[in-house]
Structure 1
Amino acid sequence: MTFQIPRGTQDILPNVVGKWQYIEKTAREICRLYQYQEIRTPIFEHTELFLRSVGQTTDVVQKEMYTFEDRKGRSLTLRPEGTAAAVRSFVENKMYAHPIQPVKLYYIGPMFRYERPQSGRFRQFVQFGVEALGSSDPAIDAEVIALAWDFYRSLGLKKLKLVINSLGDQESRTAHREALIQHFENRIGEFCTDCQTRFRQNPLRILDCKKDREHELMQSAPSIIDYLNEESKAYFQKVLSYLDDLGIEYEVDSNLVRGLDYYNHTAFEIMSNAEGFGAITTLCGGGRYNGLVEEMGGPNTPGIGFALSIERLLAALESEGVELPTSKGIDCYIVTLGEKAKDRSVAILKDLRDHGVSAEKDYENKKMKAQLKAADRLQAKYVIIIGENELEKGAANVKNMESGIQEEVQLNQLSTFIKERL
């Protein structure tokens, strides 16, 4: 019997994992510069957490969650996104009482959604996300967007587009909701069953429908921008002004709504304009979620954040032909001739590694030519050749694989010699 990987998942093999490590390292460095600190939450949470935060009318809750019962009958769910867990931890650990506010968090980890697998989209995927909790200053909205923008730029992506909208405060959203109901009411039967379900529960979600996006009523739907009260308008204009100050170009799209119910005020997406990237161009999405902390049982605490898929990022890098500067090859390879040299190489290998030199040796009793081929495959910068003659002299021949220059070096000086030249 043979086993295959579950549909919608992937093995990240050694020949590509270096890209993942470089991306994660870059994310952590960007967050260090912006003073966001890492948080690690459980991979599964109580199902109620996502029902209350993400929203029962969303596709995530209705169709995509991996939910199961434990042995005591408690309903648990593999996390489909990172914000709910981060906010739950913020409340549970009373981070709102920290002397320095806002609390700035980031996470990198696997998420799970049961959806149709396609290019750059998996059922188990890795998200990098940030959350800033405790400030209603529009400058923090601009900072969160700038962090995501800088992250993509630092990795070499150039064909990016920032799309932004305001969903307004509760008063604005209520007025817009009534306008949407009046707009769609008489012809809602022409829309898909999902839209019909959302019509009374959360009509704003109709605008996010992929099936009926070309319907004429979609094109003429009331814009949230027209229903923003003065306070919401001023807030949005301030965010845009800060983006101008930061030199980040943007496009205001009044039809942009995020797929989760907790968003209000600022909502944004960063998209790829790379040719051939695919029909789904969104790389990153986020926005403000004032009220979510209260929903979780905490005090009135505003928040904003974003999340992005590492898989989608890798697909965008490939579309733009960006090669990440991942480390390749090893520092040196030990070639041994004879049993005594093979025995001696064990201690030499350990000494090299103790001095921070990445090193390898033969474990298959290959001939010298085959060992040199192995060194070449591993892209070794130096090859240390040890035979019985060398052992008698207490030395080894060290070859620079790039220049071809070979030198005789005392065995007790090998690690120092290699280290200096690296």
Structure 2
Amino acid sequence: MAIQIPRGTQDILPGDVEVWQYIEKIVREVCSTYQYKEVRTPIFEHTELFQRGVGDTTDIVQKEMYTFKDRGDRSITLRPEGTASTVRAFVENKLYGQPTQPTKLYYIGPMFRYERPQAGRMRQFHQFGVEALGSNDPALDAEVLALAINIYSKLGLKKLKLVINSLGDNESRTAHRDALVEHFKPRIGEFCSDCQGRLEKNPLRILDCKKDRDHELMGTAPAILEFLNEESHAYFEKVKAYLTAMGIQFEVDSTLVRGLDYYNHTTFEIMSEAEGFGAITTLAGGGRYNGLVEDIGGPETPGIGFGFGIERVVMALQAENTSYPTQEGIDCYVVAMGPEAELKAVQLLNELRQNGIHAEKDYQGKKMKAQFKSANRLQATYTAVLGDTELEQQVINVKHMETGEQEQIALDKFIEYMKKVTQ
């Protein structure tokens, strides 16, 4: 029996991988303009990092992590998200001590969560995210949001909706927490066991429950915006003012609760409104997380960030029928006939490639006619034919495949000729 790919994973093959490469290219270009630098962290970390950094009451930690013991009996977890690892790297490498602050970082890589596979949600998925650490300025919140919107705009996505909310500071959240406990406690027995366990630990997580989202108490739960103190309210108003100044449209949703425990103040999601995108519309999500750096062992450092799955961006591009530039065809296909010509063809092919010219040759011993068919399948602009006669005369016959025009070029001038015609 043939070995098959594990459930919840996928092979990204030629023909599909090009759109991934394009997304990654745009991501890197936009991050560069905003002065965000790439960080690469291990795929696995000590389990405690995610227990402390993501939160014990989250579905991620409770149900979805790939956790195992290594040979040293240490608990290790495949990273389920990128923020905790990035903040750990920030703390461990003392990036908070660098003279230029805030520290602006981005990451791209595979993440792992054990959940039911569905379109755009795999057990191994690929996430891009940014983290800006070291500033409490609400303008930084707006910048992070603008960066995300800019990426989607550069990719050609248009049918988007930005939704924002504020979870307030610790004082505001404590007041809201007490109100939530009072609201849900009399009827908490009607909720799932997860919600019952979260009532005292983190009642805000009840609002994010998928099982009980239709319960009548969900619709009447006290909204966090009603409990913002003066400072938190002023902070949120500044974020909205900055977004408006940049011409970024948004909606305020007081029920928006991100799925991680570390958020406070600004939280947000970017959703696709493209027809046929799917029931789960979220493309990106994030927020401010003052306190996370301290939880991981660093100094008091505010931060804000977001993440999005590349799989879901691919789905959004497909839903909006968005095109992207691809490298189609090759510049030159070298046709060689005879052992001596074959030896020379290998040399010429290598020189073409060293000069940035996309080139190919036959590796299956095909006849000349079949080699020309291969050149057509590869959409070669030129074919260069080299046989024993041409080799003896130190020339090569170059044919433009579209026009049919042919020209005989001296072998020692061939590379320069191809450089000229392919510029």
| TM-score bin (small chain) | over 0.9
d(CA) in 2 for partners of 1:174 and 1:394? 84
Shift of 1:388: 2.5
d(CA) in 1 for partners of 2:279 and 2:245? 32
Partner amino acid, structure 1, of 2:378: L
Helix, strand or coil at the partner of 2:147: helix
d(CA) in 2 for partners of 1:251 and 1:214? 22
Partner amino acid, structure 2, of 1:184: F
Give 1:38's aligned residue: 38
Partner amino acid, structure 1, of 2:123: R
Shift of 1:15: 2.1
d(CA) in 2 for partners of 1:406 and 1:206? 73
d(CA) in 2 for partners of 1:157 and 1:242? 22
Instruction: Report 1:46-195 matches (<5 A).
Output: 46-195=46-195
Give 2:325's aligned residue: 325
Give 1:363's aligned residue: 363
Give 2:297's aligned residue: 297
Shift of 1:391: 2.1
Would you say 1:27 and 2:27 are equivalent positions? Answer: yes
Give 1:247's aligned residue: 247
d(CA) in 2 for partners of 1:382 and 1:161? 47
Partner amino acid, structure 1, of 2:99: P
Helix, strand or coil at the partner of 2:63: helix
Partner amino acid, structure 1, of 2:26: T
Helix, strand or coil at the partner of 1:247: coil
Give 1:306's aligned residue: 306
d(CA) in 2 for partners of 1:92 and 1:200? 32
Partner amino acid, structure 2, of 1:342: E
| Conserved 8 A contact 1:142-1:239 | yes
Partner amino acid, structure 1, of 2:37: Q
Would you say 1:213 and 2:201 are equivalent positions? Answer: no
Deviation readout 1:119-166 (Å, 9 max, x if unpaired): 011111111100000000000000001101100110111111101000
Partner amino acid, structure 2, of 1:408: Q
Instruction: Report 1:218-229 matches (<5 A).
Output: 218-229=218-229
Give 1:12's aligned residue: 12
Shift of 1:414: 1.6
Shift of 1:5: 0.4
TM-score by structure 1 length? Answer: 0.98
Deviation readout 1:22-54 (Å, 9 max, x if unpaired): 111111111110000011111111100100110
Shift of 1:392: 2.9
- 4+ residue stretches of structure 1 with deviation over 4 A? none
Shift of 1:186: 1.6
Partner amino acid, structure 1, of 2:299: P
Shifted more, 377-386 versus 37-46: the winner is 377-386
Would you say 1:340 and 2:350 are equivalent positions? Answer: no
Give 1:281's aligned residue: 281
Gaps of 5+ in 1: none
Give 1:404's aligned residue: 404
Helix, strand or coil at the partner of 2:376: helix
Instruction: Please tell me the root mean square deviation across aligned C-alpha atoms, in Å.
Output: 1.1
Shift of 1:64: 0.4
d(CA) in 2 for partners of 1:369 and 1:193? 70
Partner amino acid, structure 1, of 2:405: I
